[in-house]
Amino acid sequence: MTRLTAVILTFNEEANIADCLASVAFADARVVFDSGSTDRTAEIAREAGASVIQRPFDNYANQRNAALESVAGSSAWVLFVDADERVTPALAAAVRRAVDQGDAYAGWRIARHNYIFGKLTLGAGWYPDYQTRLLRCGAAHYDPERKVHEVVLLDGPLGTIDEPFVHINYTRFDQFVAKQQRYTAYEAGILYEQGVRPKLRNFILQPLRHFRWRFITLKGYRDGLHGLRLSALMAWYELRKYQLLAALWRDHDRRSASDPQ
């Protein structure tokens, strides 16, 4: 059985996949778990010696669980790496040491250095930004109820690796906007499914609290104007979440009013 398999989830990542795969060359096997890329992602991955598995994307939790299941019979451990992340030599050594401890842990969380608009961001919630990514097969799975910001459920202790991933998070402002819009739409949909109706205070107090949490509590001020900008943007998207939620309920109420009794 393989000791360690690096798994990379992809969709149209031709710009990132080669460097990402090179950074996990220390793993015993490398698998690109693709969701139907229309660019050269799969071709580049195969040229680099990685296996490619295709699965249509439905949500992040199901995609990661399917990836886990695909290698569980052939690998003792899985290291999940995003295509825009890199594993440094120091982190690779730390991962090998963790795997050497065997069944002592069910999984390991790994710190992450986020580079946003080219700047290392250490405040506002972007550091240490632990990600539970090194998982012992058979002792871990993703909570299927958490379709975004997925959560790992472990059957055993969780260890910590402080050597960070390098995460090339957003290089352009439009990337940041597009991703946050997707997240706010997901989160508004979840609140709607739970029957949560927005209140006036959600539109006023919640964004202000979110800004204070990012900039003061999570020390966004450490990053100066960069941290101020990010904290304000995240507060804005908190407002957008409730605006989208309100729109969902307006549509619901209109449909209910027009349905014959």
> Over the stretch 97-119, which tens digit does the pLDDT of each residue have?
999 999 999 999 999 999 999 99
Least confident of 26-35, 108-117, 168-177, 217-226: 168-177
Query: Which ranges constitute the DSSP H helices of the chain?
Result: 17-23, 41-47, 60-71, 89-100, 173-193, 200-212, 224-258
Task: Please say whether the dihedral angle defined by the alpha carbons of residues 140, 167, 215 and 233, taken in this order, is positive or negative.
Answer: negative
Predicted confidence band at 149 (pLDDT cuts at 50, 70, 90)? Answer: confident
pLDDT greater than 90 at residue 259: no
> How many CB atoms are located within 10 Å of the residue 31 CB?
22
HSE (side-chain half, CA atoms, 13 Å) at 38: 0
Residue 95 has pLDDT above 70, yes or no: yes
pTM of the full structure:
0.88
The answer, yes or no, to whether residue 12 has pLDDT greater than 90, is: yes
How remote is the C-alpha of 135 from its chain's centroid? 15
**The pLDDT of residue 260:** 60
Query: In this model, does residue 147 exceed pLDDT 80?
Result: no
Residue 261 pLDDT exceeds 70: no
Q: Which of 63, 64, 79 is nearest to 2 (CA)?
A: 79
> 178-228 pLDDT, tens per residue?
989 988 998 999 999 999 999 999 999 999 999 999 999 999 999 999 999
The fold of 2-170 is Spore Coat Polysaccharide Biosynthesis Protein SpsA; Chain A (3.90.550)
Identify which of 3, 177, 159 has the alpha carbon closest to the alpha carbon of residue 79.
3
Domain spans, the chain: 2-170, 173-258
**Average pLDDT in the chain:** 95
- Is 70 exceeded by the pLDDT of residue 72? yes
